[in-house]
Amino acid sequence: MELEEPRDTVRTSERELSRFADSRDEARALRVAAMADEQFSRRFALGPLLGRGGMSVVFSATRRGPGQEVAVKLLRAAHDPVMVRLFEREAELLMGIVAARVIRAFEYDLLECGTPYLVLELVRGENLQALVRRVGPQPPEVVRTIGVALCRVLQEVHALGIVHRDVKPANVMMDWSADGASGVTLVDFGVALARSRRVEARIEPAMLVGSPAFSAPEQLEDARHVDERTDIWSLGATLHYLMTAKYPHESSSVATMIAARLDGSADRTALDEASVPAPLTAAIMRCLARAPADRPSDVRSLRALLEARLPEPADAAATEIARGR
């Protein structure tokens, strides 16, 4: 990937940014805009593109002077006031969270062209979606240990009155240099909701929020009316994916998948076909219940359930299998 634009060809106008966007090269356009911003480029040197989501693109970067490695997240739809407010809300929430395994936010600002950006902790490792795509379904002991670690993270997040609303394999980073699966980090709070605040109707009209493959039924119906049990459903869907490499209610179309999810609880066919141990299957299916009242009441309860179901933690051999070694 081309990392730098010649300074004499850079333009910072919205017209120039639009030209790049129209050519479907938003990531390059945002890189150009960032490096053309004198204040930004004096402070940061952008590295490779780390990822692109529905709302933003993320680059690795180095803070000039101290040499601190960070990630810089730039909003793709800076012209959309709803997306801008969601991006601002993510910055506000992350800067208020102090948790060991939640990605940290350092600062929020605007480029000269008006594009918001967020400077984040650079999280090392591999996300769980990439892990499954690389080596396939994971051993039960590894899935259980990851589930317990995610319960610990979400317990801290929920204690602050925050519902993540986008718990999924791609938003969980695994650091294999850490002790087993304790090295998980939850990232991307772009659609997180602080339940203590009144949801702004103008910010979230009846819009689809989150990732349909990992969204609870009530979130698909109205993402403004969710609670901690919504994240528990998504955590169950994540564990289901780790065990089977399949989504709950997997279908050839998103519309069909959503219709099936709203119609009732997930079935256990994929788990049975993958020979998932019965206790772990039962725990996952509890999470995937259609009605929130039928799920574990909180992540503390789910953690106790997972710990009781599989008493032995992931051993060294299982961890090596998970790493694909």
Q: What is the pLDDT of residue 121?
A: 95
CA dist., res. 257 & res. 246, Å (int): 12
Instruction: Give the pLDDT band of residue 203 (cuts 50, 70, 90).
Output: low
- Is the Cα dihedral 305, 311, 316, 317 positive or negative? negative
| pLDDT tens digits along 226-259 | 999 999 999 999 999 999 999 999 888 889 999 9
Instruction: Give the pLDDT band of residue 146 (cuts 50, 70, 90).
Output: very high
Q: What is the pLDDT of residue 156?
A: 94
Q: What is the CATH number of domain 126-323?
A: 1.10.510.10
Q: What is the pLDDT of residue 204?
A: 55
| pLDDT tens digits along 151-202 | 999 999 999 999 999 999 999 999 876 555 458 999 999 889 987 655 454 4
- CATH 3.30.200.20 correct for 7-121: yes
Looking at the DSSP assignment, which residues form a beta bridge with residue 72?
59, 119
Neighbour order of strands in the sheet with 172-174: 126-127, 172-174, 184-186
Instruction: Give the pLDDT band of residue 98 (cuts 50, 70, 90).
Output: confident
Mean pLDDT, rounded, of the chain: 84
Q: Which is more confidently placed, 205 or 62? A: 62
Q: What is the pLDDT of residue 165?
A: 94
pLDDT at 39 over 80: yes
Q: Where are the domains of the chain?
A: 7-121, 126-323
Q: Which is more confidently placed, 284 or 320? A: 284
Q: Hey, what are 165's tokens?
A: 């609303």
CA dist., res. 235 & res. 238, Å (int): 5
Evaluate whether 242 touches 137 at the Cβ level (below 8 Å).
Answer: yes
Instruction: Give the pLDDT band of residue 319 (cuts 50, 70, 90).
Output: low
pLDDT at 316 over 70: no
DSSP 79: T
pLDDT at 66 over 60: yes
Q: What is the pLDDT of residue 195?
A: 74
Cα three-residue angle 42-79-37, rounded to 5 degrees? 10
Q: Long-range contacts of range 204-208, CB-CB < 8 Å, 24 or more positions apart?
A: 204/82, 207/82
Q: Which of 32, 37, 68, 66 is nearest to 49 (CA)?
A: 32
Q: Hey, what are 224's tokens?
A: 């403004």
Mean pLDDT of 23-38: 82
